[in-house]
Amino acid sequence: MKFDALFAGFSKMKVVVIGDVMLDTYWWGRVDRISPEAPVPVVALDKKEYRIGGAGNVALNTAALGAATTLFSIVGDDDDAEILLNLLQQQHIDTKYIIKSTDRITTNKIRIVGKSQQMMRLDSEVTHDIAADEATAIISSFKAYAKRYQPNVVIFEDYNKGILTAGVITEIIAVCKEHGIATAVDPKRKNFFTYQDVDIFKPNLKEVKEGLNLLLESVDEPAMRDVHEALQKVLQHKISLITLSEKGVFFQKGSQSRIIPSHLRNIADVSGAGDTVIAVAALVYAATNDIKLAAETANIAGGLVCEEVGTAAINKQRLLEECTELIAG
């Protein structure tokens, strides 16, 4: 495989990410004493850091690989939205299809970190479904975008925050089918079986077991092939790509299947790894139509970002070097 040519070609790809964008806020500090008011540590704040989270992190990864990336989502009409939109624009992610809603707030997950350990997380969010007129606006703007720009792949990034309603999901998948656009989804339980006819369905093993109400005694290829078959009976999708935590990833397309073991890493933080896996897998598959190569590349990418603390975009050069070294031609 000529990875140099593959990675250079990412700059010619157009990616749409649709789903729940959020702001990740980190308050970094020192803990030297316990509060006299209550038995809790006192964190002396050193700095605040803002990062792109949720569906935005998927977009951050495809943009970091060089693809022209557009986000469809809804945020609040608030200060957190301004911070998030500025961060996205700094990374050359197209935000003009992100709607500001006066009925919602921007999701912000604040992590308080002391002595390099997360001590608390504060979630500021609303999770009910978006209003009918907002759903209609997303669908209408996507239809116009798809007709004009013909993206290579659409990635649904679902965090159960209400952007991806059943109507939004089914309408956009239908538009993608009409225009021959590849689709990939990172699902959550609420709409788990709504993603009918997608190309790539990428849950993690826990989500699969909960969605199908399964008790898996072993995680091996025969068992995972049974899982794929059970999913396909409901979803009629093309490809299962299931992340297996430290065991790696499983993929199946037709009769082709394999568990790709993970590579040994110094794990610092697993947050955001799923975002990276779906971003890389969708982009590579859209570029090559080779799910084995897409799964192998995404498996390496997911491991690389686990070496970073917090959500982080994949380093394109490092991923290129590791793919060249670790994936057989």
Just list the catalytic residues.
275
Question: What phi and psi, each to the nearest 5 degrees, are found at residue 157?
Answer: -120, 105
> How far apart are alpha carbons 13 and 152 in whole angstroms?
6
CB atoms within 10 A of CB 8: 12
* Burial tier of 251 (Cβ tally within 10 Å: 0-12, 13-18, 19+): buried
Amino acid identity, residue 39?
A: P
* Burial tier of 216 (Cβ tally within 10 Å: 0-12, 13-18, 19+): middle
CB atoms within 10 A of CB 317: 9
User: 278: closest CA among 196, 158, 129?
Assistant: 158
> How far apart are alpha carbons 328 and 307 in whole angstroms?
23
User: 275: closest CA among 95, 4, 19, 104?
Assistant: 19
Interstrand relation of 68-76 and 14-19 (parallel, antiparallel or unpaired): parallel
Cα angle 184, 189, 193; round to 5: 60
Residue 227: CA count within 13 A, CB half-sphere: 36
Amino acid identity, residue 78?
A: D
Q: In the block, which residue shows the tokens 């949720």?
A: 54
